[in-house]
Amino acid sequence: MVTVVGVAGPAAAGPPDGQWTKVHEDMFEHYACKEKVSGSPYGPLWLVRTMTWVNGQEEYAAGIYAAIVRQPGTRIVNQINKDRWFYGWIGTDSLYGSMFRDDRIYIQGAYYGPPDYGRAIRVGSLRTCVS
């Protein structure tokens, strides 16, 4: 049984404030941006932030799932589940670990079945986050 909570935010939204890239849209709209981690002893290291908009739907307690996946294959570098909505938005804590431009970010509503990492997009194609 899924608990449904009403939305108490604006009726419509686009990307969150700042420079975000739309990753994809399922029942919700998923966005991401990247920040370069300075002083990494491992070479280039990116931190990826995600935001998901409820997209006029009701909020599900299941929330969202996000992962950084290393190609080729589906090696998960970092992943997170979140289910705390705030005025129609849900954001992940930063996902550390993307070291290569070809690493991919994947986001989906957590109510779906197994992740389809084939829909992930390259971290290198994300806009840089602006505070």
Pick from 116, 102, 108, 94: nearest CA to 29: 108
Provide the whole-model pTM. 0.80
Q: How far apart are the first and last CA of the chain?
A: 38
Residue 126 pLDDT grade (very low, low, confident, very high; cuts 50, 70, 90):
very high
Give the pLDDT confidence of 58-83 residue by residue, as tens digits: 656 678 899 999 876 678 889 998 88
The percent of residues above 70 in pLDDT, for the chain, comes to: 78
pLDDT at 9: 42
Q: What's the mean pLDDT in 3-11? A: 40
Pick from 42, 30, 32, 31: nearest CA to 97: 42
d(CA 130, CA 49): 11
Letter for the amino acid at 14?
G
Q: CA dist 36 to 13, 90, 105, 107, Å? A: 27, 22, 15, 20
